[in-house]
Structure 1
């Protein structure tokens, strides 16, 4: 017997209808420009009609190369609501990777911010399926190519009606959006989200034990909208009616902090690299409106979190996820059994990944396939499952080895889970250093190094060693205006980590190379240090 409930599919058009009907007066801000959701909705309908006018097939992928802006938000809504697939593309990837991604997705039309056009246009000849390049004029001065395939976004919208439109997306399991992994090893892999997964993920972000987003919030996703649906935050803002503040192409630390202050932002999210870059200008602005700062993309070292607590009064709160997981799987919080924690212990807990959010499950598995106990001290491979987790990869590489026979995603992270369900990432599988038969956690060693105020950034990699198999090498960026030596780093580590963890080799660098999403690129470091040793 089935329940007698209405069958209303969970689809992105329902988000558009809700935000226009209930929250049309709320703000959508891009840099210096303020609109409302009532302004955005008719433009979304115009966009859907543009896609019909351009004969974009239903079910086709439509690529976007764009910053966080109202126009990109319109693409977030209009493309999937019209039955096409929103394909957000990271323009910071290598050209060969961009070409692979566009061709693997078989993108039919590309929407490109004018400031990004200098990166994209030289690659257009390598895109096999692209018929049109629609330019979103965000103030860039790159001359528009004299080519019939190049069209102007505003001109196209002006030719269409913004009147009500019946969006025909009846199947909540239909594909809604596509995002590719960073491709740190091999080609990037496509993750294809459904309408259902997008709606469910946006709902779970509203939970009191997740981000607690509400109509009262002013949400500023600093995390780029070309990356994992900007963590679902634009869609979550539609669900609850929050104001949405988007930086556009203005992404310098001063510009970002000014934006947070001017618009009295209450919630923001970014990777640790961005939050670290903002520290020098925090004290120059009133950020008292912030109630929650989410940090993803890697571990939150205590030196970083304590700087925020000292300067603006709140620490960073860690969240963990992957492109394959929509992405949020955990968000840290203080539970009832943490009531006795104070000061540093509370901050350290919030800096950990935390427990699983609703609708997701986690488990830690030993090398032999057995489940590890939830005791907080027994590491294994982290595996996750749930309604917002990928079941396979899209495109040329199905990534079958990334999924277990019972349908769980193998994350590639080594982790523990304690009795309360709190996750701790020990390391990425490929980043663990096995020295003399024993494991060294690069994450723990990095955090210990960055506890030294003379250190701005630190990344640890393993290098082959004839005696020990591998030894850790610490790549350290000194803080501005400080003098630091390898001996200083080793002296700082004594008593903080096991003596055999302390690296013999310490490389002092001007900068840690980053991936296209702002994470440390350890693959690049391995290549650079390997080449340096060979010289």
Structure 2
């Protein structure tokens, strides 16, 4: 027997229809790379998305074809999220920070037929054009100097267009991992998984959006679906403020002028904003909420934002999880906690939202599930309706027989479900049979007033197999010694976690998504040796 409710296919076009109908006049503000600004609204986004869908069809783009974007955060990029899906296509958001070989691989592997790009990335387009073998058409979002301009391209078409309908399990977006080992892998999001993910993002325990929210997302739209914010924001009918550049002065001015209540980005974004405010003597923006993801935020960052009246929440996830896995909203005992206890809980990665199941397994025996006791660390696994099953064009599933996906993270699950990430499985340091968290060591080190950035890796040791070495970049104009850094860490980490050496470097390598590249750091110091 079937139920007696209406069949309502979950497709992302229903999201933009809702936004235009119920919040049509809510503003979408864009600050472009050249300093100019444009304003539209949700009704305008839907109108232009319908025009874009027809423009794509006129180029011969068919249902299921991939359309690439090489772009920062702005309203025309947002139009593409709905316009490509609206004609049955798949939007492939390309990370411009990838290396040339990776850019070549993912565009050809995706078989992109059209590329929409920002003028600032014209040098990349010029360099890669001959290497992208499947791209037939190039459209520039903000200039018509070298290729057709986006506004001119969609201008001949009207709003009278019916979205292409289909199954809710049809694909709508393609994102590639950064490929820290081997070639990047494609993750193909479905309409259904995307709508479910956005619905969960609205929860008070997640982004906590309402009609009065004003969001400036610093997390780029080319990375992990911008954490699902463009979809969740449309569902709630919020005001978006986009910036195609992430300079602290620009972000600060936009946040204060446009009344921004919420923002989201990686820790380096907030560090840069702190430095800007300190250098100019200005106050931090009075945000209601700051979501931090990509890597763990150090406690001093959390403390400063919280003292500014901002709700700070970690978000953990990955491209393969659409990406929300956990979010650190207030817990049931929040009002009874001291400020220090709130900071400590916020420093963790939060709890699973509905739809996500987590477990940890033994690092040495992956078949053994570990207890949620708040102290036992293991390999983190996940499953749920917006978690990957199989990579794009792969021949085998990426999950085990029970649907568990191995995240590559190492973490601790607490009795209340809170996730505390401690490392990556390939970065955790095993010394004398015991595990040392490189991430916790790094976060403790950046609390030193002279330390701008720190990275810890395990180096071969004749007695202990591995011992941690801490690589440190000093702040401009600051100075310290290795002994001073070690002394600073004495009461912050276990004694046997203290690094055997502190090495000062001019820079620490990063991946295309801004994370510390331990692989490149190990390669740089491949000949480094420790003595017993």
**TM-score, normalised on structure 1?**
0.94
Is residue 46 of structure 2 the alignment partner of residue 41 of structure 1? yes
Residue 338 and residue 22 in structure 1: after superposition, are their counterparts in 2 closer, same or farther (change >3 A)?
closer
Segment of structure 1 superposing worse, 235-244 or 117-126: 117-126
Q: Partner of 1:393 in structure 2?
A: 391
Q: Cα offset for 1:90? A: 0.2
**Mapped partners of 1:138, 1:455: distance in 2:** 41
Aligned 8 A contact 2:218 2:263 in 1: yes
**Mapped partners of 2:264, 2:311: distance in 1:** 13
Residue 398 and residue 247 in structure 1: after superposition, are their counterparts in 2 closer, same or farther (change >3 A)?
farther
Residue 244 and residue 394 in structure 1: after superposition, are their counterparts in 2 closer, same or farther (change >3 A)?
same
- Give the SS at the match of 2:128: helix
Residue 285 and residue 100 in structure 1: after superposition, are their counterparts in 2 closer, same or farther (change >3 A)?
same
Q: Partner of 1:268 in structure 2?
A: 263
What do the CA deviations read for 1:277-321 (whole angstroms, capped 9, x no partner)?
Answer: 1111236555554111000011111022223234x3336321100
Q: Partner of 1:186 in structure 2?
A: 182
What do the CA deviations read for 1:20-72 (whole angstroms, capped 9, x no partner)?
Answer: 11111100000122211222221111100100110012110101001100110
What do the CA deviations read for 1:314-343 (whole angstroms, capped 9, x no partner)?
Answer: 363211000000101111122223442111
Q: 2:459 aligns with which of 444, 460, 463?
A: 463
Q: 1:66 aligns with which of 60, 68, 71?
A: 71
Pairing of 1:105-504 with structure 2 (within 5 A):
105-137=110-142, 144=146, 150-161=147-158, 163-248=159-244, 250-282=245-277, 284-285=281-282, 287=284, 289-310=286-307, 312-314=308-310, 316-366=312-362, 367-395=365-393, 397=394, 400=397, 402-504=398-500
Q: Partner of 1:147 in structure 2?
A: none
**Mapped partners of 1:229, 1:320: distance in 2:** 14
Aligned 8 A contact 1:463 1:471 in 2: yes
Aligned 8 A contact 1:303 1:453 in 2: no
Residue 124 and residue 532 in structure 1: after superposition, are their counterparts in 2 closer, same or farther (change >3 A)?
farther
Say what the alpha-carbon RMSD is for the aligned residues. 1.8
**Mapped partners of 1:286, 1:485: distance in 2:** 32
Residue 464 and residue 138 in structure 1: after superposition, are their counterparts in 2 closer, same or farther (change >3 A)?
farther
Q: For structure 2, list consecutive stretches of 5 or more residues without a partner in the other structure.
A: 32-36
**TM-score, normalised on structure 2?**
0.94
Count of aligned positions: 521
Q: Cα offset for 1:479? A: 2.6
Segment of structure 1 superposing worse, 125-134 or 487-496: 487-496
**Mapped partners of 2:476, 2:143: distance in 1:** 34
Q: For structure 1, list consecutive stretches of 5 or more residues without a partner in the other structure.
A: 145-149
After TM superposition, what 4+ stretches of structure 1 lie above 3 angstroms from structure 2?
Answer: 282-289, 397-400, 531-534
**Mapped partners of 2:359, 2:433: distance in 1:** 25
**Mapped partners of 1:111, 1:303: distance in 2:** 40
